[in-house]
Structure 1
């Protein structure tokens, strides 16, 4: 009886450990696929009911179709995720991720870091819960001021980059508008 208990305990520990390692690998693969804009790979890593939800309940990504559009938008603006840390407990992998894109470099915005909790269903990512870390409000305030300056520039120079959806078309037109903003800023600086 004692040997049977030890064997069962050992099997449970090995199973739990391998699930945690597998979930970590899935998250690492997901981030790599996001950075490479590999939609076909991403679809194999997420559950059909996949969502990304902010800590306050706001839906960032509502479904896989929305995720695909967001990835295509991100590709146009050179969106990247830097994995800062990764831990695993039970059926949740928690990361610290730093997000950057061309908008940040063009506007001089500060990078955003989030604590992301990934939960799983049947070996796939079911959802991400996105939480800001300390200092996030100050970063948002600074970044909003940078964005407002860009919007004023666009209004002054009659630059329209708007789109009804966050997709590759919006990404291309936004990047073009940001390029005009950077060029104008560089011209002003070189004339000083």
Structure 2
């Protein structure tokens, strides 16, 4: 089995973090760029309000996930959000995950991202990251739960306690323009691990 390790860092730091992960055994990854908005509270990153960020995605075998996680966690990067999500195959059934946190992922038309984030924060979500994306909407393309990724989309990543997830989804669904079929996708992923790192002096965490 494999695990997806997902990291959010300040702009210009993802390549360095990827080098650390590869040195620990990661085969490589993908770097996305986006914007973030944090708020005070349990699940926000202090000092990251309205900053440009980079998002690093790397998939590793479970046999080395602990080594890669620890290498990334202790990387000398001042501000870092790090999560791990198991990727389970359908062979042999699925394994339930005991977790109190979920990642809320939203795909919406360009221009709605900040409205979606504001609605989620009103329901108790601490903050999130917005990524600009492009897709296709040809009739022959594969749809994701009935909705196509079309040009000028925004993708949001938010981490929330499970108890506020349903309220956040209901709040986001009330946004004008997103109620029509195909105008928005939201799905959640249980988090196996979660770590916030905010260093004042760049030293390794204890």
Question: Which TM-score tier does this pair reach, normalised by the shorter chain?
Answer: under 0.3
TM-score of the pair, normalised by structure 2: 0.25
| Bigger strand share | 2
Q: Larger relative CO (CA 8 A, sep 6+): 1 or 2? A: 2
| Bigger helix share | 1
The structure with more radius of gyration: 1
